[in-house]
Amino acid sequence: MQLTINGESRDVDVDPDTPLLWVIREELGLTGTKYGCGIAQCGACTVLVDGYPTRSCQTPAESVTGAEIKTIETVEETETGRRVVEAWVANQVPQCGYCQSGQVLAATALLTETPNPTDEDIEYAMVNLCRCGTYNKIRAAVRDASEA
């Protein structure tokens, strides 16, 4: 099947119900997207599907054949994505870093849609788990990135 990932059309030969996560990691070699729980609980596998933060571990590849899929590897190609990454660095958000690809993409999706989010917007959008507990810094970084 054909998938459009990070602006490129890619031919992949997988079973149609293969989760998008494993297509991205194993077929395309993009390892920035992480496997955390496999049941859409933690959000480490978040990618953008037509701009929406999507848990790729529970997204069958065949369901997104016509969509624009974007992974962490190209997050800095948009102005909003760049701003989010800079805010993440300035706030020294990551600790172990494993969940942060998903967090950065979730923040990018939020700020693309809602450039000046309310606290409630942030709470509603930033729901990915972080076992290191970087939640205070994630919130601060989202606020920083939204003020630009």
Q: What residue ranges bind another protein (CB under 8 A)?
A: 14-15, 18-19, 22, 26-27, 29-39, 41-42, 44, 71-73, 75-76, 85, 88-89, 92-101, 104, 123, 126-139
Nearest to another protein of 14, 148 (CB atom): 14
Alpha carbon distance 43, 123 (integer Å): 15
Tell the smallest beta-carbon distance from residue 117 to another protein (Å).
14
What is residue 137's three-state secondary structure? Answer: helix
Minimum CB distance to another protein, residue 9 (Å): 21
Closer CB to another protein, residue 118 or residue 136? 136
Decide if 103 contacts 130 (C-beta within 8 A): yes
Q: How far is the CB of 112 from another protein (least distance, A)?
A: 17
Q: What is the spatial distance between Cα 20 and Cα 4, in angstroms, rounded to a whole number?
A: 12
The C-alpha atoms of residue 34 and residue 106 are separated, in whole angstroms, by 14
| Residue 44: CB minimum distance to another protein, A | 6
What is the rounded CA–CA span in Å between residue 66 and residue 106? 21
